[in-house]
Amino acid sequence: MTLFPHPEPSSPAPSSYQVWALPGIPEVRPGDDLVKLVADGATVPGMPGLADGDVLIVTSKIVSKAEGRVLEADDREAAIEAETVRVVARRGPARIVESRHGFVMAAAGVDASNTPKGTVLLLPEDPDASARALRLGLREALGVDVGVIVTDTFGRPWRTGQTDVAIGASGVRVLNDLRGGVDSHGNSLGVTVTAVGDELAAAGELVKGKADGLPVAVIRGLPQHVLEGPVEAPGTPQARPEESARALVRDAASDMFRLGTSEAVREAVTLRRTVREFTAEPVDGAAVRRAVDAAVTAPAPHHTTPWRFVLLETEESRLRLLDAMREKWIADLRADGKSEESIAKRVRRGDVLRDAPYLVVPCLVMDGSHTYPDARRNAAEREMFVVAGGAGIQNFLVALAGERLGSAWVSSTMFCRDVVRDVLALPGDWDPMGAVAVGHAAAPPRERPPRDGDDFVVVR
């Protein structure tokens, strides 16, 4: 790579490219003709101009200014709130959010730098459309076919510092999918998809700088990344998929790191829904064990560990338990005087356990509990342990949701504890605290009525 802040470039070798910043672009104001400003910068005497196959790297700030995305705002926080669709993580005043464009970034791209005091800059309304308009305008003004990338600055998880990335593109193949190919050693490439758009954006930033008044760069020598074909007119409903910067945004379903810390807890709790129907897809036992790891972090009295989890991983063990429990339920219901129709209906409610591909029986043990001389305190002691057992089960259910596993906690084992202990060969002091059906939900959960926490709060 060759950097030319004030270039006199020659034709680059096939394995090299050149990058330089366009000089002479003045402070951009709302309504300015950005095409004219860039074309004037590209035709300054002594500069190499623009040629077919070049890639233009344009800082989003000047696009926003030209498009009038300047907001009078003494309160930047209100502007961030308006541009945010989801708060990913928060630490003090700093917020990582998903903007309405779909970008996960700090402050939704709302910027108070390089703009007059009392104003903030919003991201372009549609960065891909902005890139297409600039590309078309330069073709009409200068007769050249160039690729255009609109950039902004992002921080990155696990990496210190910031870098420019592509938020809009036209005429550039922003992803280079190498899957299915082989490397120089003949190894198959199974996951390699290069983020060309972001790499070009970062290369341009090396010569633009943050405070040097050079908002546009040109990259020459990489025509393989510039798409041939007609330039779309502004207002085109959709760019070709391979040249839209939206292709660089990972979809939610495949994003393993979508959630921030606080949001992960909130979403896992929200995802924790009772699932009544499961697919036949097997359950990963390792995921269940990770959920148990979370369960045993619950609070408990006297520094005890009152939780035990019995994992029924085979169909034979599940059916043996459920058949024995069914017989006990039926006997109890008949003793209660229930009709056969009523008994059949009640037994069917337990079929969620029978249909699940995985079953867990949480148990409570009283190891470490205190014994008192009066029944009142002994009853309170047990209640403390039961509460701790419930906290462990809640942790378990939330952790399963975080593993994208559905669950249903059913209390039925509590009504036939002796049967459960006998079938599963459990110690006599293990109290089964229900059963948890685990599996992959067969359908999205039903909408549940919203609950406002204030309805459950009493302040004294």
Residue 215 has which token pair? 């908002």
pLDDT at 103 over 70: yes
Is residue 112 one of the residues assigned to a domain? no
User: What is the model's pTM?
Assistant: 0.64
Convert the pLDDT of each residue in 24-79 to its tens digit.
Answer: 888 899 999 999 999 999 888 888 889 999 999 999 999 999 999 988 877 788 88
pLDDT at 262 over 90: no
Number of domains in the chain: 2
Higher pLDDT, 435 or 257: 435
Band of pLDDT at residue 11, cut at 50, 70 and 90 = very low
Check residue 343 and give its pLDDT: 84
Residue written as tokens 């390089």?
114
Q: Please give the average per-residue pLDDT across 202-231, as a whole number.
A: 85
Last residue of a domain, one of 254, 285, 307: 254
The answer on 57 and 159 residing in a single domain is yes
- Note down the domain range covering 152: 2-69+123-254
Residue 80 maps to a domain: no
Asked which of 221, 254, 287 is the last residue of a domain, the reply is 254
Diameter over CA atoms, the chain: 100
**CATH code of residue 8:** 3.30.1330.100
pLDDT tens, residue by residue, 418-434: 999 999 999 999 999 99
Same domain assignment for residues 315 and 190: no
Last residue of a domain, one of 200, 234, 254: 254
Q: Find how far residue 99's CA is from the centre of its chain.
A: 13
350-354: long-range contacts (C-beta < 8 A, 24 or more apart)?
350/322, 350/325, 350/326, 350/410, 350/412, 352/275, 352/276, 352/277, 352/408, 352/410, 352/437, 353/318, 353/322, 353/408, 353/410, 353/412, 353/435, 353/437, 354/318, 354/319, 354/322
Residue 378 has pLDDT above 90, yes or no: yes
**Are residues 301 and 364 part of one domain?**
yes
Q: Is residue 92 part of a domain?
A: no
**pLDDT tens, position by position, 151-195:** 999 988 888 899 999 999 999 999 887 777 776 777 776 667 888
Is 147 in the same domain as 243?
yes
Which class for 415: exposed (0-12), middle (13-18), buried (19 or more C-beta within 10 A)?
middle
Is 90 exceeded by the pLDDT of residue 117?
A: no
CB count within 10 Å of CB 15 equals: 7
Please provide the average confidence, as pLDDT, over all residues in the chain: 86
| Residue 314, amino acid | T
